[in-house]
Structure 1
Amino acid sequence: MYKRQISYKADIGDIRESPTLNIFEILKEKQADISLIDPHVNHFKDKKGNLVNVISNNKCNFQEYDCVVILTKHSSIEYKAVSYTHLDVYKRQ
């Protein structure tokens, strides 16, 4: 599974109170294999205090993942480059 963006607000690196952290913990408890990318965050500590590294660039081969979750819309990300043909897409209005 691939999760995109950790910060709670677009274009910042502040992860305090980010709902992504809760989602991360839930998925880890379910033993999901998770990759994280956020151009504004290099790493964070999970609830056990373990350091979690974050891919801090804007590129990813989405075809490699079964599921992609975009939680924060950063302006530096080229969302049109994401091919949705292989994904079920849910877009919150």
Structure 2
Amino acid sequence: MPLRIGLTAWRHLAARHPLAYGPQLWGMVFPLAMYTTGTLRLSDALALPFLTLIPQVTVWVALIAWLGTTTAMCLHLVRRYRPTADITTERWP
């Protein structure tokens, strides 16, 4: 996870790649939720209660990332498939 976060930060901050919606964003967001779930299940399986501190933080990070990506996807779809009508070129009988 630290490598993924570092590469994403480098891509948008250092390389100045614009932050825009693309399907590849789901490839960055999905592992956040899986990391959270996996760590929580590992703490249960190994009976290590101190590990539950990690999912308590990363669940919020994952939720914010999922909501942001879902919002960006919805906005992208609305902008892309919005009906456009040019009133000046339409002829009325």
Task: Determine which structure has the larger helix proportion and give its number.
Answer: 2
Question: Which of the two has higher C-alpha Rg?
Answer: 2
Task: Determine which structure has the larger strand proportion and give its number.
Answer: 1
- Which of the pair has the greater relative contact order for Cα pairs under 8 Å at 6+ separation? 1
